[in-house]
Amino acid sequence: MNADAPIGVFDSGVGGLSVLRALRAALPGENLVYLADNAHAPYGERGDAFVADRSLAVARQLRDSHGIKALVVACNTATAAAITQLRDAHPGLPLVGVEPALKPAAAHTRTGHVGVMATRGTLASQKFAALHGTLAGQTRFVLQACDGLAEAIEHDDAAKTEALCAHYVQAMGPFGGRPGAMDTLVLGCTHYPFAAGVLRAVVGPDVRLVDTGEPVARQTQRLLATRGLLAQRTQGGLTLLATGPLMALQAAATRWLAVQA
């Protein structure tokens, strides 16, 4: 495998740009190819079989058309539904998935109460159930399926994003540093970090927001280093692709990554 080849990154839409942002910060010399499968979004409200089929198709496209040296599945729902199939289909390819940051949240909480916002597909997955089961004995997690939130963020609908964030936070219960309240909030979808400002205003300044961008970037760096696949450039490039309209992805990259599309 060629160290100069790009890293492939995909999500159902623009949410994975939060992971891409962390990858660009940690690995500035790497070429990155980001594919938004927005013709089939949102994944979080689709069935596992559909998401797995799309994930396998996207991985094939990135390998066949772009010769990627690693693949980052920048979507919690796709990771839960398809990471095993992807590893089976591409045994020689370094693969990194994402999962809601329950472990870091459990380590950081002081009250022992943690809120988790995620898509319905992620929360219903066996992978999430297994992760939750290993930690539920030591930390109380309040799980909230956030129907429509990823889509609102995807379409840059500020009013709907604010309304949904307020609705779901209220449904979860009290946040803050007092006993019995949730002092940590897991952003269990890669779209949600782009609503962090809105969520911060709702839950207050004493609540820690946790997402997975930086851990995913560190794991990608570690895998590439182990295999001698880190690029030696000082500055890499970025290619943006979409299965549907590209303009929305370009606008989001300009807005959230300061990329000139």
Whether 146 is a known active-site residue: answer no
| Catalytic entry in 27, 41, 51, 75 | 75
The owner of tokens 């840059």 is 156
CA distance 143 to 227: 37
Neighbours of 93 (CB within 10 A): 17
Coil, helix or strand at residue 245: coil
Whether 165 is a known active-site residue: answer no
At 136, list the tokens.
């539920």
CA distance 94 to 71: 6
Decide: residue 214, CB within 10 A, 0-12 exposed, 13-18 middle, 19+ buried: middle
| Catalytic entry in 32, 81, 172, 189 | 189
CA distance 169 to 202: 7
Active-site annotation, residues: 75, 189
